[in-house]
């Protein structure tokens, strides 16, 4: 008997608040969950600084990864029951692809680190490259487990995640405009934040999903279910992921890490202030084992130390981050962008180092995109299948989706210390600076 076929004598379940149960039926899936690389994801929050805005958003990348696995498993079950392949090339589902799909689903985020997006920006790491490495490097437990299937299996799993795998159905299950990854994070983030608008009808979407020669499409009868998913996704971006307070905390985090990096030459060695586990990154000389030691708690531990640092900027930014003291922000447009220079100057005059105390940040998302021969990179557009087998692209039949197709939604904001709005407790000499500053903020926007 091949390990691949080694179904557990009886399936195991993990209680899950979003999917009720996660069903594990293969020994290899259980073994992967028990690797230290997967367990590390318990210590990395799925939404990073968003929990400063939505206090319930404390869930980890570990629970999300189990969720993506479970949705993928359900898709395989439905495909096997309703659309099993009869002969090669018929565009139907070949269930021998199940295991690579499940492993890729479970491992798709394995390379994510603590506060990934910010961390990558400062330290030039790349969570996608690290995901590939964790899966294919012989140094990891994940790799050892995967190789029990076959020597080539790790590479196949990695290929699914980097989109180069030959079976497009498997690739699109994990990564497309309506995939297991997005479906789980929308539902899970909605569940944990309490943002009910992120909900959509998962069971119904899975029912109308089907394999075809080009990958995965949807029955046209389920058009509204897909439409509803697109809208839910858009609402979550606008209301949760792009929330100004979360972005403000991320701005602070960026400046905090930047300051620390700049100071790192001067960091005392062998003292309580030394961020030992970060040193390989400060020194730009790290390997995968260094990376895998980091998690949210490790970074926070150093930030807690730094609150007592003698460097007043490092100390202040660490305090703002750990104790949740966000910057304020205002939206600006191309027409008002020029004001940011002026406001920076005022902030500097008020005594803040503008390099660390102001920033701009834009958040834009493409809620949905259809194929456009003029564009360079192409998302996989959503295809609907009519009863007679012909296909139609989603935005052709949904007025709502058409309205947002190819349109970037979001905003660009200017961040600054909250103090700039609270003149009262400041000394008199700064009063005119503050007043001038405040003249330019109205309805949470920059104005002339």
**Shortest reach from residue 123's CB to its own copies, in Å:** 18
**C-beta separation of 386 from 379 below 8 A:** no
Q: Choose the stretch contacting its own copies; rule: CB under 8 A; options: 156-164, 195-203, 255-263, 357-365.
A: 195-203
421 binds its own copies (CB under 8 A): no
Distance CA 399, CA 377 (A): 24
CA-based radius of gyration for the chain: 24
**19 phi/psi in degrees, rounded to 5:** -100, 10
User: How many chain residues touch its own copies (CB under 8 A)?
Assistant: 81
Beta carbon nearer to its own copies, 293 or 348: 293
Q: What is the DSSP letter of 164?
A: -
Subset of residues 208 to 267 that bind its own copies, contact rule: CB under 8 A: 220, 224-225, 227-228, 231, 234-235, 238-239
Beta carbon nearer to its own copies, 266 or 399: 399
**Shortest reach from residue 437's CB to its own copies, in Å:** 17
Distance CA 133, CA 158 (A): 9
* Dihedral of the alpha carbons of 298, 300, 302, 303, in degrees to the nearest 10: 170
296 binds its own copies (CB under 8 A): yes
Distance CA 30, CA 61 (A): 17
Q: Choose the stretch contacting its own copies; rule: CB under 8 A; options: 145-153, 310-318, 369-377, 400-408.
A: 400-408
288 binds its own copies (CB under 8 A): no
283 binds its own copies (CB under 8 A): no
For β-strands 7-16 and 20-26, DSSP reports them as antiparallel
Subset of residues 315 to 344 that bind its own copies, contact rule: CB under 8 A: 319, 322-325
Subset of residues 340 to 379 that bind its own copies, contact rule: CB under 8 A: none
Residue 212, strand partner residues? 215
Binding mask 24-63 for its own copies (x = CB under 8 A): ----------x-x--x--xx-------x--xxx-xxx-xx
Q: Which residues are within 8 A (CB) of 321 and not within 5 positions of it... i.e. 6 or more apart?
A: 249, 252, 253, 256, 303
Q: Choose the stretch contacting its own copies; rule: CB under 8 A; options: 15-23, 176-184, 343-351, 357-365.
A: 15-23
Subset of residues 141 to 170 that bind its own copies, contact rule: CB under 8 A: none
**C-beta separation of 371 from 241 below 8 A:** no
- Alpha helices, H only, 34-126: 36-40, 61-82, 98-107, 116-123
Interacting residue with its own copies among 89, 138, 151, 387 (CB under 8 A) = 387
Distance CA 159, CA 168 (A): 11
12 binds its own copies (CB under 8 A): no
**Shortest reach from residue 277's CB to its own copies, in Å:** 8
Beta carbon nearer to its own copies, 56 or 432: 56
Distance CA 272, CA 310 (A): 13
């Amino acid at each position: 008997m091949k390990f691949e076929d080694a179904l557990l004598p009886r399936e195991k379940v993990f209680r899950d608040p979003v999917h009720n149960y996660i069903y594990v039926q293969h020994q290899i899936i259980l073994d992967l969950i028990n690797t230290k690389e997967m367990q590390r994801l318990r210590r990395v929050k799925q939404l990073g600084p968003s929990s400063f805005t939505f206090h319930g958003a404390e869930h980890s990348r570990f629970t999300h990864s189990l969720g993506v696995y479970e949705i993928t498993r359900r898709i395989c079950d439905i495909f096997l029951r309703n659309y099993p392949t009869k002969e090669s090339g018929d565009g139907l589902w070949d269930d021998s692809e199940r295991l690579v799909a499940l492993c890729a689903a479970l491992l798709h985020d394995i390379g994510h680190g603590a506060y990934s997006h910010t961390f990558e920006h400062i330290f030039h790491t790349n969570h996608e490259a690290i995901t590939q490495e964790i899966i294919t490097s012989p140094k990891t437990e994940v790799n050892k487990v995967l190789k029990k299937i076959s020597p080539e299996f790790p590479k196949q799993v990695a290929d699914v995640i980097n989109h180069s795998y030959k079976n497009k159905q498997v690739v699109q299950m994990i990564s497309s405009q309506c995939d297991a990854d997005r479906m789980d994070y929308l539902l899970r983030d909605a569940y944990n934040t309490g943002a009910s608008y992120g909900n959509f009808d998962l069971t119904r979407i899975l029912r109308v999903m089907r394999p075809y020669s080009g990958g995965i499409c949807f029955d046209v009868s389920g058009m509204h279910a897909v439409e509803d998913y697109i809208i839910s996704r858009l609402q979550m971006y606008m209301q949760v992921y792009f929330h100004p307070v979360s972005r403000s905390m991320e701005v602070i985090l960026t400046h905090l890490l930047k300051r620390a990096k700049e100071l790192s030459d001067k960091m005392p060695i062998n003292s309580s202030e030394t961020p030992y586990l970060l040193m390989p990154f400060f020194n730009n000389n790290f390997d995968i084992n260094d990376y895998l030691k980091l998690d949210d708690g490790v970074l926070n531990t150093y930030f807690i130390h730094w609150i007592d640092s003698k460097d007043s900027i490092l100390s202040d930014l660490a305090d703002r981050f750990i104790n949740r003291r966000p910057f304020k922000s205002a939206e600006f447009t191309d027409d008002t962008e020029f004001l940011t220079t002026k406001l920076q100057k005022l902030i500097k005059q008020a005594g803040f180092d503008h390099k660390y105390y102001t920033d701009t940040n834009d958040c834009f998302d493409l809620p949905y995109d259809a194929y456009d021969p003029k564009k360079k990179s192409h998302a996989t557009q959503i295809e609907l299948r009519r009863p007679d087998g012909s296909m139609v692209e989603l935005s052709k039949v949904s007025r709502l989706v058409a309205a947002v197709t190819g349109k970037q939604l979001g905003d660009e904001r200017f961040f600054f210390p909250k103090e700039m709005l609270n003149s009262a407790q400041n000394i008199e000499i700064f009063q005119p600076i503050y007043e001038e500053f405040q003249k330019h903020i109205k309805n949470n926007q920059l104005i002339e």
